[in-house]
Amino acid sequence: MSIQGYTWKFGDNIDTDAIMPAKYLNISDSSQLAMHCMEGIDPSFANKVSHGDIIVAGKNFGCGSSREHAPLSIKKLGISAIIAYSFARIFYRNAFNMGLPIIECSEAFDKIQENDQVAIDLENGIITNQTQNESYKFPAFPEFMRSLLQADGLLSYIRQQVRANV
């Protein structure tokens, strides 16, 4: 699995209220929800993102409440992955359940700048910053986590497993 895109950079402690403000949690259409992604930090973010872009963030990305709306809105907006120094634990799991690849790599956070072009090799654990001609290593995902991502999330993965065993 390989991902490629341009980066958007954010700092530390980006909480789920900033990613998806609570006033939008009653929206059931995920495409409409995506239009409010990161609105707590940059109200125009959803209008500036291109499909395939990558978020790069600091420590504790996704802290706060455990709302699944946060990773869902990021994914539905077209963000292809998130690279962060670290993630809040519940956000980490929710992102994989939604089929959104997230990578912890402090070196990448320290060196990647906004609008750098980045390629991510999920199978081998390599982030290549094509703009700066540098590479950063991260622990490759275990087989099961790659399976969740390839299936586009936990629910799709379960449906595939049920069909395979019928």
pLDDT value at residue 65: 87
CA distance 39 to 34: 10
pLDDT at 165: 85
Res 148: pLDDT:
92
Compute the distance between CA of residue 137 and CA of residue 135 in angstroms, rounded to an integer.
7
Residue-level pLDDT at 140: 87
Write down the pLDDT at residue 67.
85
The answer to whether 107 and 32 have CB atoms below 8 angstroms apart is no
Q: Helix 89-98 to helix 154-164 angle, to the nearest 10 degrees?
A: 50
Res 114: pLDDT? 97
pLDDT at 63: 97
pTM of the model: 0.94
User: Which segments in the chain show pLDDT lower than 70?
Assistant: none
